[in-house]
Every structure is written in structure tokens, then in C-alpha cells.
Structure 1
Amino acid sequence: MTGDGPIGEDDLQAFVDGRLSSTRLETVKVFLASNPPLASQVQREIEQREALRARLAFKAQEPIPARLRVSNLMAAPRRTSRINRASIAAAVALLVVGGALGAAGSSWWFSRTMQDTSVADNAIAAHRIYVSERVHPVEVPAEQEAHLVQWLSRRVGKPLTAPNLNAQGYRLIGGRLLPSNGEAAAQFMYENAGGNRLTIYARSGGSEAQTAFRFEEQDGISAFSWIENGLSYVVSAKADRAQLLPIAESIYKQFEAPGGATRGRL
């Protein structure tokens, strides 16, 4: 990789992971120095990676259980060979995890997967990344709303809709497809007259049929999340709880199936 090409997402991720060549590293540093908002975002990702590595470091120090040691597994009776093969695979996976977490150059994305982050964490992370985009904030613009909703519904595996938030002062600007712990997730993005952006994140796989609203705040970003009919939803914005709650309730009512239960508040 030379230092002459344009800076892309791969370069920024490699910078976060410490995998850039010296030539490309200097190019990215110059680029970030001229883009303070993006530099701040990259710095937050570096801090999150380091915090996560520190949080999971204990895993690398734990001894491998005797029952998962390869030598013991290989010595087991042949009649349990199918079980042994699965156990050996688990032992090898544990060795790989320990080595990856203990290595100085371990991948931030790999660590994120091992953390088994919540849907809300993923939604807020995606919100931070894309609301700051001015050129490509969405993959499909609002002018193609019918196509956007049909495409995201098909990929998520559940019927979706892009809620109308005009009464709350937000207009749809589009959406995109996102990965979420091996599953497909949808993100719809809205913007108000002041330029503040709001995102709605949805993915299938909720472990409960229905949950009440759950509120959390991470570094100035507020989010309400809930599960309904096997779909997990998260609405995120740079707003306080009182401002975001009526918007979340409006979104819920538009997603809610006929005859649904009343949503509980937290």
C-alpha cells in the first residue's frame, strides 16, 4: 500500500488497529489532522479498543480447562469421537481467542465480536459513524423510499417501514444495511431543520416476544430500545431523555401490529 491513494474506511480501520505501513501511516495522520471531527471519532474508536482489550485481558490469563486440553481429548475412547471432535474445535478456538486477546496487535473488530455487544451498543456505534457523514450518510436516499424499505425488509427477514416523523420535526433522508453480530440490520436516518440527525435501527433475533422501553445514554447519545414481534429496535439521537421519549413512542406506534399491547415506560 502506497501513500498516494485516497484515504478510505480500510485505512482508518487499519490506523485504529495499528496495521498501517510507515508511509501510509504518515499520510493518514496528515489527513486526520485536517479533519478534526473525523480525528476525534477515530480517537474514540482507539480508546474503545484499548478499553475493551483491558476488559477482556483476563481471558488470556485463564488456564485451559483440563477437559478441553487436546491431549486429554485425543486420549478419550473412540466411541465418543464425534463429541471429541467438537470439543477439540472448542479447545482450539479457546487457544486462538487467548492468543488474539493477548497479542499486542489484536484486531479491534475481533474483540468487539468476542464481547457479544448488545443491539443497543451496535446501534449507537452505527449512529456515531454515519450521522457525521455529510457526503454519504445513507446508502439509499429517501427519494427511493419504497425500494429502501423493500430491500431492508428482505435482508432483515421481517417487514419494516420507515416511520413518518414529520410531526416531530424530522424528515427521512434515507437508510442503509448494516452487519450486526452475524445478522443483517437496517438503519433509517432522519434530520431536522437544525441539522440534528436521528437514526432508527432494526434487526431480527430478539430473544423475547416483547419488552418495555429501555433507555441508555453513551457520551451524549441517547437511545431507547425495545423488542417487538421478534425484532429489536433502537432509536438514537443527540437529545435528552424527555426529548427522545415521545419520538420513540411515535415510532413504536407506527411499527406496532394491530392489537399490540401498550408499551411500558422506564
Structure 2
Amino acid sequence: MNPIDLPVGEDDLQAYLDGRLGAERVEAVERYLVDHPAIAADLERDRRLLAELRDRLGPKAAEPIPARLRISSIRAGVRRRRLLHLRSVAAVCAWLALGGLGGWMANGILGAPNAEPVRTARMADDAIAAYRTFVVEVVHPVEVRADEGAHLVGWLSKRLRTPITVPDLTRLGYRLMGGRLLPGRSGPAAMLMYDDDAGTRLTLYVKTDETEETSFQFVEEDGVSAFLWRDRGLGYVVTAATAREALMPVARLVYDELERPPEPKPANQL
């Protein structure tokens, strides 16, 4: 079948939105959008959101995502780490059986993999696991409720040993429910939970020991979407059981709120 005659799919629409669709498919996609005005409107909305996001992020948005931070590379890193673990076990057994020869083999097999994709995958996995665990709770979704805001911020900031900012998402219809402290692989992590009038919940996961800054990345696992990035020593993950395009403005607002300088204190509090 001629590529021009193939049905228009999600990959075509995304490539068209990103400006990387082959010339032989552009005409087919544009005909499809004329016949489907609702999808065309959604695509135009996504185009505006992406343009605003690039403008707000400035130099970071202009940087290409490194190959090692693509989702395929992250998953490959996880698979590679598991394979290396199995090889490590085999190497130890060989060392015990063959003595010096086994030790030489283990030295070649036990080389450490590139840790960066694994760290990124772990942060996303931890945030999504925390979301799945606590978002379904009815009585105890959070440890400290939003009406104890000063205590919540002070407690989480003290435990993470860095000032924690609570983004205001009311302009998108989300209210802060509260937050909780979570165990992390390299230290404690914090999770803030929000909901809207429809009962939809989303979480902001924050962890320390993230020295390298990264641009936005997107992960989807079994209907749960997450935007993640690292900035100034902290890692952030915004998670919800919603579509990518619905979560994007929330992640953008969270980033803007975190970047906003703190309001100056009144003179009588200086």
C-alpha cells in the first residue's frame, strides 16, 4: 500500500505536531484534520501549549533530550542492570569454582552500567508507585492535611534538609489535600497530593540528591502519566491517571510555581 493511502494514526498526528512528518504524509494528515475539526482543535491547542512551554523554559526547552534520557534508553538501562545482576551472580559462582580464572571473568562482567538512565527510571517508578499506593486511600491519603500548611512545609523541609515549596494549582481547579514523607533509595522523599471538584487526584513527588539538571520527560505506565525533571538538586515528578495533554499544563504550572521567587516578608517580620 502506498504510504499516502495509509490511515492517519496517533504517530502521524504527533509527528505533524512536532514538524517531523515526512512530506508524503503531510497532505494526508491535513485532509484528515479538515474532516475531523475536533481533533484539529486539540492539535492546535497542544501546539500552543508546547510553544508556551518552550518560551517559559527558555534555554532548557531548546536543548535536545539526550539519547540516554529517552524512555527507550531508560528501559534499556533497567534491563541492562538486571542482566548485569544475573551475570554478577554467575561470575561469583564461577569464581568460587575456578579460583583465579573465575576472578578474572568476574572482573570483566561486574563493570558498573551507566547509572544515569537507571536513576531517572527509579525516580519515575518510585513516584508512580507512591501515587498508586496512596491515591486510592479514603481516610488517610496524606499524613499532614492542607489546613496545617505551615507545619507541613516546615516538617518536609526539615526532613529533606532543603526548603520545600508547595505549588498553588487552584487556577487549574486543584486544591492541596496535604502531604506525606516517603522513604527513598538515597534519603527521604516528599509527596504532595491535590484533588479537584470531580475527585480527580494528582501528586507531586519531590526527592533530593539530584545534582544534574534535566528538561521535561514524560512516562506512561498502565494509564498513569508522569512528567519528571531535575532542577537545582531536586527531582520532581507530577503524576496523575490522565492523558499526557491534560497533565502537561499542570506540570508547566508546577514548574512556574517552583521557579517563582519567594514573596518578601513584611518589614515587621525582618
- The TM-score normalised by the length of structure 2 is 0.55
Letter in 2 for 1:215: F
CA-to-aligned-CA distance 1:15-69 (integer Å, 9 cap, x gap): xxxxxxxxxxxxxxxxxxxxxxxxxxxxxxxxxxxxx9xx948845642359965
Instruction: Map Cα deviations across residues 160-212 of structure 1 (whole Å, 9 max, x no partner).
Output: 1111111010000100000111410000000010001010000101140x211
Match of 1:170 among 171, 174, 186: 174
Q: Whose helix fraction is larger, Structure 1's or Structure 2's? A: 2
Q: Residue 234 of structure 1 aligns with which residue?
A: 237
1:137-216 mapped onto 2 (5 Å cutoff) = 137-208=141-212, 210-216=213-219
Gaps of 5+ in 2: 1-77, 101-105, 111-117, 262-270
Cα distance in structure 2, aligned partners of 1:225 and 1:239:
15
Distance 1:70 1:186, change over 3 A: farther
Could you tell me whether the CA contact under 8 Å between 2:182 and 2:188 is conserved in 1?
yes
The alpha-carbon distance between structure 1 residues 72 and 157, as it changes in their structure 2 partners (threshold 3 A), is: farther
Q: Normalized against structure 1, the TM-score is what? A: 0.56
Does the CA-based 8 Å contact 1:225-1:233 persist in structure 2? Answer: yes
Amino acid at match of 1:249: R
Is 1:212–1:226's contact at 8 Å kept on the other side of the alignment?
yes
How does 1:110-125 map onto structure 2 within 5 Å? 118-125=122-129
One-letter amino acid of the structure 2 residue matched with residue 223 of structure 1:
A
Aligned counterparts of 1:69 and 1:232: Cα–Cα separation in 2: 41
Identify if the C-alpha distance between structure 1 residues 163 and 68 changes in structure 2 by more than 3 Å, giving closer, same or farther: farther
- Moved >2 Å (runs of 4+): 55-73
| Identical counterparts, % of pairs | 45
The answer to whether the Cα contact below 8 Å between 2:211 and 2:232 also exists between their aligned partners in 1 is: no
Alignment of 1:56-67 (within 5 A): 56=82, 59-60=85-86, 62-65=89-92
State the secondary structure of the residue aligned to 1:205.
strand
Runs of 5+ in structure 1 lacking a partner? Answer: 1-51, 74-89, 95-114, 259-266
Answering whether residue 219 of structure 2 is matched by residue 219 of structure 1, we say: no
How many pairs does the alignment contain?
A: 167
Counterpart-to-counterpart distance in 1, 2:190 and 2:95: 39
The two structures, once aligned, show a CA RMSD in angstroms of 3.1
